[in-house]
Amino acid sequence: MSKKAENVVTMEKIVSLCKRRGFVYPSSEIYGGFAAIYDMGPYGVELSTNIKNEWWKYMVQIRPDIVGLDSAIFMHPRTWEASGHVSGFSDPLTECKKCHTRLRVDHLLEDIGVAADEKMSEKEIDKIFSENVKNIKCPNCGSKDFSGAKKFNLLVKSNLGNFTENWDKEPAYLRGETCQGIYVDYKNVLDSTRVKIPFGIAQIGKAFRNEITARQFIFRTREFEQMEMQYFVTEATEMTEYEKLKKYRWDFYTKVLGFDEKDLKWHKHENLVFYAKEAYDIEFNYPFGFKELEGIHARGDYDLTQHTKFSGQDLTYTDQTTGDKFMPHIIESSVGVGRTILAALCSAYCEEGEGESSRTVLKFPYKLAPIKVAVFPLLKNKPELVAKAREIFDSLTPSMMCEFDDNGNIGKRYRRQDEIGTPFCVTVDFDTLDDDTVTVRHRDTMKQERVKIVELDGFFHKHNL
Ligand code: GAP
């Protein structure tokens, strides 16, 4: 049985812990919030940075064949015509005629067990919707009266650099995915670095989508971050490289982020976009079921062919040894930071013990923990304890995120650190003043041991902090 089942992780518990402990806040909450947008609080931003750093290390730092990039959010509007987003990046929408809530048709169908997806044409999905609408109720008001299914474009428009009143006729788009920046910079990377096929370009950055339904917390938001890697290959090696990438990405979740294999599964796309050779999702077992965490796609030569056509620039690749000139094929790995954070929180969440001794603890792998070490003076009103604890805190902060806490009893301070997943707590007590040792308490076992202050660095180093 997976750890999650024993602990009964629910979205209510995760959302409440995130708000209470400063991982995630609803955006602009003092104004009533802003639908499908969230802010990362002090611990959320640490967790997010740790996840992104692990991804970068795994996808760029240890890969001599992959380089990094940070392209701008705004791109030439033709980019989005070439990519197909202006004409085809849409979700099927219906409106409840009673309460006017707008809903995603494929999600309503999925809820009653009818397969449909956003890649179907408006006609196809409207037909399936009208055949099944009698079994569907509006989740907001219970009405069964809906408008027909219509496709709604997800690109977010802006008037950046356009000072006319009719700017929305020629908008600048906020990017709907980060990978387009990789495709349009691919030639620059080729010309300015020593990469040779097969090679990859990776980047982490914000993307924006006018998602119709905002639900499931940070799982589906209108502003989100993606971690994407596009790997440029020959047509002949596309599918073998694709299989290698699939395994490499699976290992990231199990070996680097420490997710339980039982909480992950593959989902093969049956209904592919016309240019794709194969597409798989890695799904995670969220509290609302197995859902897409990451997409891994074999995209053929579609992207560079389209940008060649629309930009008029030759984006072919010339093999320096054979002289062969060809359009590279692309395989991609694409995952949202928010979905990874949510998966990491669900994986780490544990409730232990009963009554007085019960606790909630986030058992993150140490490298993901927002705070690595918390330092406490036993008593707040004893200056010599506070000064010693401060000294230890100041000696640790240059190398890791630490927290100083002198509030409340020690038990409560431990519980607070457990809830944010801090691996170690260091307490300075009266013995410290005599023998220069401190109590180090382990998060997972709650075991305590005395460690000499001069040996703390080595102790944490031994635990890979
Ligand atoms: N370049 C390919 C691409 O963008 P996608 O399946 O549309 O493919 C890739 O998105 C990943 O981005 C998803 O697997 C998910 O992790 C994340 N993602 C997509 N839309 C999202 C949203 N509205 N909110 C949060 N994450 C999202």
Q: Give the tens place of pLDDT for each residue, 16-37.
A: 999 999 999 999 999 999 999 9
What is the structure's pLDDT at 400? Answer: 97
Element (H, E) at 451: strand 448-452
The atom of ligand 1 lying closest to the CA of 339 is 16
Q: How far apart are the CA of 335 and the centre of ligand 1, in A?
A: 6
Tell me, rounded to whole angstroms, the distance of Cα 50 from its chain centroid. Answer: 11
What average pLDDT does the chain have?
A: 95
| pLDDT at position 132 over 80 | yes
| pLDDT at position 135 over 80 | yes
**Given pLDDT bands bounded at 50, 70 and 90, which one contains residue 353?**
very high
**Given pLDDT bands bounded at 50, 70 and 90, which one contains residue 447?**
very high
Q: Is the CB of 182 under 6 A from ligand 1?
A: no
What is the structure's pLDDT at 7? Answer: 61
Q: Is the CB of 294 under 6 A from ligand 1?
A: yes
The atom of ligand 1 lying closest to the CA of 226 is 12
**Given pLDDT bands bounded at 50, 70 and 90, which one contains residue 1?**
very low
Q: How far apart are the CA of 217 and the centre of ligand 1, in A?
A: 15
List CB contacts of 355: < 8 A, sequence separation 6 or more: none
| pLDDT at position 222 over 50 | yes
What is the structure's pLDDT at 388? Answer: 97
Residues 421, 422, 423, 428, CA torsion sign: negative
Q: Is the CB of 209 under 6 A from ligand 1?
A: yes
Work out the average pLDDT over 359-384: 97
What is the structure's pLDDT at 451? Answer: 98
Work out the average pLDDT over 172-200: 97
Q: How far apart are the CA of 291 and the centre of ligand 1, in A?
A: 12
Give the residue whose CA is nearest to atom 24 of ligand 1: 220
- The pair of three-digit structure tokens given for residue 20, joined into one six-digit string: 């209470």
**Given pLDDT bands bounded at 50, 70 and 90, which one contains residue 3?**
low
> Residues 77, 188, 72, CA angle at the centre, nearest 5°?
40
**Given pLDDT bands bounded at 50, 70 and 90, which one contains residue 121?**
confident
Task: Calculate what percentage of the chain has a pLDDT beyond 90.
Answer: 92
| pLDDT at position 387 over 80 | yes
For 51-85, the pLDDT digits (tens) are: 999 999 999 999 999 999 999 999 999 999 999 99
Q: Is the CB of 180 under 6 A from ligand 1?
A: no
Query: Where do runs of H (alpha helix) occur along 200-301?
Result: 238-251
Q: How far apart are the CA of 423 and the centre of ligand 1, in A?
A: 31
Q: Is the CB of 403 under 6 A from ligand 1?
A: no
Percent helix, strand, coil in the chain, to 5, is 40, 25, 35
Q: Is the CB of 339 under 6 A from ligand 1?
A: yes
Q: Is the CB of 295 under 6 A from ligand 1?
A: yes
What is the structure's pLDDT at 147? Answer: 94
What is the structure's pLDDT at 320? Answer: 92
Q: Are 417 and 425 in contact (CB under 8 A)?
A: yes
What is the structure's pLDDT at 5? Answer: 46
DSSP single-letter state for residue 60: I
Give the residue whose CA is nearest to atom 26 of ligand 1: 336
| pLDDT at position 45 over 60 | yes
Work out the average pLDDT over 248-259: 98
Rounded Cα gap, residues 450 and 433, in angstroms: 13
| pLDDT at position 126 over 60 | yes
User: How many Cα atoms are found within 13 Å in the side-chain-facing hemisphere of 362?
Assistant: 29
What is the structure's pLDDT at 459? Answer: 97
Q: Are 392 and 428 in contact (CB under 8 A)?
A: yes
The atom of ligand 1 lying closest to the CA of 295 is 14
What is the structure's pLDDT at 6? Answer: 52
For 409-439, the pLDDT digits (tens) are: 999 999 999 999 999 999 999 999 999 999 9
Rounded Cα gap, residues 209 and 193, in angstroms: 32
Q: Is the CB of 225 under 6 A from ligand 1?
A: no
Cα distances from 65 to residues 113, 140, 185, 201, 202, in angstroms, run 43, 50, 17, 9, 11
Work out the average pLDDT over 124-137: 93
Work out the average pLDDT over 307-334: 97
Q: Is the CB of 336 under 6 A from ligand 1?
A: yes
